[in-house]
Amino acid sequence: QALEEQYSPSRWSPRLGSDTVIQAHTAATAAGTRRARASTQTALHVPYGDGDGEKLDIYLPPDPAGTFPVLLYIHGGYWQCLSKEESGFAAPPLVSQGVALVAVGYDTAPRGHMDTMVLQVRRSVVFLVKRFPATRGVYLCGHSAGAHLAAMVLSTDWTEYGVVPDIKGAVLVSGVYDLEPIMHTYVNDALNMSREVACRNSPLLCVPPAAPAGCEVLLAVAQHDSPEFRRQSQEYGQALRAAGWSVSMLDLAGVDHFDIVEKLSEDSYVLTQV
């Protein structure tokens, strides 16, 4: 019961009730994505694989013929809800600075298995490297379950994929990096993970021994994230540092698990600026 409480982010928000805060989050990110699509040059529903869920939305900077950094945004939703349709809200401030934002879709549970989701997100990175061979680096940004998937991208052995992406940074927001506790909560009802699946897909347990050259990782947590979410970020950050990665932590006051990322639609928000 204590784990259920700790891994129910909506119970920790002082702004709204637990059901209301999730509805508000979906509404805010969907509305932000609609605004981004209306104001930005886009390529929507671009397939990066053969599966129905394997599609990307690309938000391009004003000069798409030039070279630009690419930020891959991986949505949260506890691996079982949300989609790329609510994942473009952060595009306008980034696009205005010459950054392309790519919102990645993946097969959420129960249709998607944890192994499948991790593989899909890795393959989306490979697709982007081939689509934009002259980028000024790939950056990852993931929220909650999306931060877990972004961290799993960092742990990839790229020799299996035939490309080595130039990953220059990762912004991991309010993520889960050890899946073992999740197995004992309601979240696993849809995921149906075995201990073996949870272990091999826990970024904390598969930190690469060497960081890519020049890659920086930022771990962000909200003041009103639960103690367990905050602990997970601390421990993953320590594990990365111990392996020689460049890691910084950002503890954001006055936000909860949801508006910590919603505010990426605002130019002046500290996380947008970073």
Count Cβ atoms within 10 A of the Cβ of residue 189 and give its class: 0-12 exposed, 13-18 middle, 19 or more buried.
exposed
Query: How far is the C-alpha of 185 from the C-alpha of 238, rounded, in Å?
Result: 25
Exactly one of 57, 178, 257, 259 is catalytic; name it.
257
Integer Cα distance of 232 and 238 in angstroms: 10
Residue 185 DSSP SS3: coil
Per annotation, catalytic residue among 13, 87, 124, 144 = 144
> Is 113 annotated as catalytic?
no
* Token duo for residue 188: 């696993």
Residue 242 burial (C-beta neighbours within 10 Å; 0-12, 13-18, 19+): exposed
Among candidate residues 225, 226, 256, 259, the one labeled active-site is 225
144 belongs to the catalytic site: yes
Return the residue matching tokens 């940004």. 141
End-to-end alpha carbon distance in the chain: 37
- For this structure, is 257 an active site residue? yes
Active site residues: 144, 225, 257
